[in-house]
Amino acid sequence: MMKHPPMEHAASAIDFEHPPADPMTAFRRWFDAAHEATTLPNPNAMSIATVDPDGRPSVRVVLCRGIDDRGLVFYTNRQSRKGEALRAHPRACANFHWDPLDRQVRIEGSVTHATEAESDAYWESRPRENRVNACASQQSRPVATRAALEEAVREFEARFEGKPIPRPPHWGGFRIALERIEFWQGHRHRLHDRMAYLRTGDGTWTCTRLSP
């Protein structure tokens, strides 16, 4: 059975006939509603699609850790598969799927590194265990056994016992620019609402309603 936004989130609804001029107004309204929804354990989760150096597409779920007019930010090991993909093809598509609200937002754009200061600040905000594990894990690389991975963690724990854990130079943020933003609101019998915003060269937005 098709789900529909709960009545308590009616205030976050978008008027698709008269959409706001700035898509981020609508996005923040939906993003706030997703955080207020008790049935959504992780509203920051978003799927990130990239293209590998050999041209093969790949997608995974990451956590959005920053949103402003410059774009969406997530943090990762830049030597991971997605990091290598973004080095070769610095473009990505992010998709938020808030299933209990029957809503999706898709954001596409070019990708750049977050600043060193942003990456440092987020690194320091993480639990110490997370920082140790990020140092120990050679993300996306083969590992022989779980025991080998845990041994690497113990080695890093011993190395930094009683000391600050510096951010590895290959670990940091990526920012997806806001170039295309699409909103999808589910309705019965697949007669959904969709609209897409495209950013023009002068920084303004054009909005087009799309068939579902």
> Where in the sequence numbering do the catalytic residues fall?
190
For tokens 């999808």, what's the residue?
184
Cβ proximity of 165 and 125 under 8 Å: no
- Give the DSSP letter of residue 3: -
Q: For residue 105, with 0-12 CB atoms within 10 Å meaning exposed, 13-18 middle and 19 or more buried, which class applies?
A: buried
Q: Which residues does 90 contact at the CB level (< 8 Å), separation at least 6?
A: 110, 111, 112
Please state, in angstroms and rounded to a whole number, the distance separating the CA atoms of residues 120 and 127: 13
What per-residue string of b and e applies to 22-51 under the rule 16 or more CB within 10 Å gives b?
ebbebbebbbebbeebeebeebebbebbbb
For 159: left if phi > 0, alpha if psi spans -120 to 50, otherwise beta; the answer is alpha
Q: How many CA atoms lie within 13 A of 93 on its CB side?
A: 14
Cβ proximity of 171 and 123 under 8 Å: yes
